[in-house]
Amino acid sequence: MTILVTGATGRVGRCLIKRLHAAKQPILLATRSGSFDEPHKAVKFDWFDGKTYEAPFDVVSAIDKVFLIQPAVSDPLVYLKPFVELAITKGVKRFVYVSSSALEAGDMVHGKVHEYLARRGVDYYVLRPTTFTENFGVAFRPTINMFDSVFSASGGGKSAFVSVEDVAQAAFTALVAEKSPNLRDPIVVGPQLYSMDEAAEILSNVLGRKITHEDLSPEEYTQRLKNIGMEAKYAEMLAFIQSKYANGSEEAAAKLPGIFVGTHSLVDYFQANKDLWIK
Q: Check residue 181 and report its DSSP letter.
A: P
pLDDT for res 179: 83
Beta bridge partners of 96: 67, 125
Higher pLDDT, residue 255 or 97? 97
Residue 3 region, left (φ>0) first, then alpha (ψ -120 to 50), else beta? beta
Q: 10: which residues sit within 8 A by CB, 6+ positions away? A: 69
Query: Could you tell me the residue ranges of all domains in the chain?
Result: 2-129+163-187
Instruction: Express each pLDDT in 247-267 by its tens digit.
Output: 999 898 888 888 999 999 999
pLDDT for res 146: 93
Least confident of 4-18, 49-63, 130-144, 252-266: 252-266
Task: Using a pLDDT cut of 70, give the percent of the chain over it.
Answer: 100
The CATH H-level superfamily of 2-129+163-187 is: NAD(P)-binding Rossmann-like Domain (3.40.50.720)
pLDDT for res 254: 84
Q: 12: which residues sit within 8 A by CB, 6+ positions away? A: 69, 98, 164, 167, 168, 171
How far apart CA 55 and CA 257 sit, in angstroms, is: 40
Q: Is the peptide bond before 39 cis (omega within 30 degrees of 0)?
A: yes
Q: Which ranges constitute the DSSP H helices of the chain?
A: 11-22, 55-59, 77-89, 110-120, 141-147, 164-176, 196-207, 218-227, 232-246, 249-253, 266-272
Q: Mapping DSSP to helix (H, G, I), strand (E, B) and coil, where does residue 61 land? A: coil
Mean pLDDT value across residues 98-104 = 93
pLDDT for res 136: 97
Residue 47 above 80 pLDDT?
yes
Q: What angle do CA 249, 255, 259 make, to 5 degrees?
A: 100
pLDDT for res 71: 86
Instruction: Express each pLDDT in 2-36 by its tens digit.
Output: 999 999 999 999 999 999 999 999 999 999 999 99
How far apart CA 275 and CA 279 sit, in angstroms, is: 9
Give me the torsion for CA of 68, 71, 73, 78, rounded to 10°.
Answer: -60
Mean pLDDT value across residues 30-43 = 94
Instruction: Express each pLDDT in 151-201 by its tens digit.
Output: 999 999 999 999 999 999 999 999 999 887 778 999 999 999 999 999 999
Q: Closest Cα to residue 43, out of 63, 23, 25, 24?
A: 63
228, with CB counted inside 10 A (0-12, 13-18, 19+), is exposed
pLDDT for res 180: 78
Instruction: Express each pLDDT in 208-240 by its tens digit.
Output: 999 999 999 999 999 999 998 998 988 998 999
